[in-house]
């Protein structure tokens, strides 16, 4: 049965969608924007600060579904400007520093709220022994 994921620390969805869904041990997140969940505002500070917040929100959603950074299988990363690729990678590797998941990363024409980055993921739930 499909489970709707709600992460209390992630910002509310800006449209008719959930933070994510889980099914049969897999977690599928919606794209996470660099919005501070406590203020509802886009963080300032350019690509570095926005990447940090998007990834923080992403991990919050995954953790709300009983996953963690080590259970991420695949990420899809959207950048408003491909020239931010290197700066985004610097932040990304602080989150996924070993056993990196598969990833696609590309520039898009526009992102919601005029942000610089959006990240989504597929992960699996932690297993207990």
Is residue 129 very low, low, confident or very high in pLDDT (cuts 50, 70, 90)? very low
Give me the domain span that covers residue 96: 2-124
- Its pTM stands at 0.95
Q: What is the pLDDT of residues 102-118, one digit of tens each?
A: 999 999 999 999 999 99
Q: What is the pLDDT of residue 18?
A: 94
Asked whether residue 129 is domain-assigned, the answer is no
118 vs 94: CA distance, rounded Å: 17
What is the tens place of the pLDDT at every residue in 59-68? 999 999 999 9
Cβ atoms of residues 21 and 5 within 8 Å: yes
- Is residue 63 one of the residues assigned to a domain? yes
Q: Give how many domains the chain has, as a whole number.
A: 1
Find the CATH number of the domain harbouring 58. 3.30.1330.40
């Amino acid at each position: 049965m499909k489970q709707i994921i709600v992460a209390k620390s992630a910002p509310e969805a800006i449209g008719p969608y959930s933070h994510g869904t889980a099914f049969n041990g897999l977690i599928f997140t919606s794209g996470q924007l660099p919005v501070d969940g406590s203020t509802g505002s886009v963080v300032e500070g350019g690509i570095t600060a926005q990447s940090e917040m998007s990834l923080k929100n992403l991990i919050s959603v995954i953790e709300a579904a009983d996953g963690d950074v080590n259970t991420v299988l695949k990420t899809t990363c959207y950048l408003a400007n491909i020239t931010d690729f290197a700066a985004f990678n610097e932040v990304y590797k602080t989150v996924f520093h070993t056993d990196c998941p598969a990833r696609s990363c590309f520039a898009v024409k526009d992102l919601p709220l005029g942000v610089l980055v959006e990240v989504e993921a597929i992960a699996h739930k932690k297993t207990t022994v």
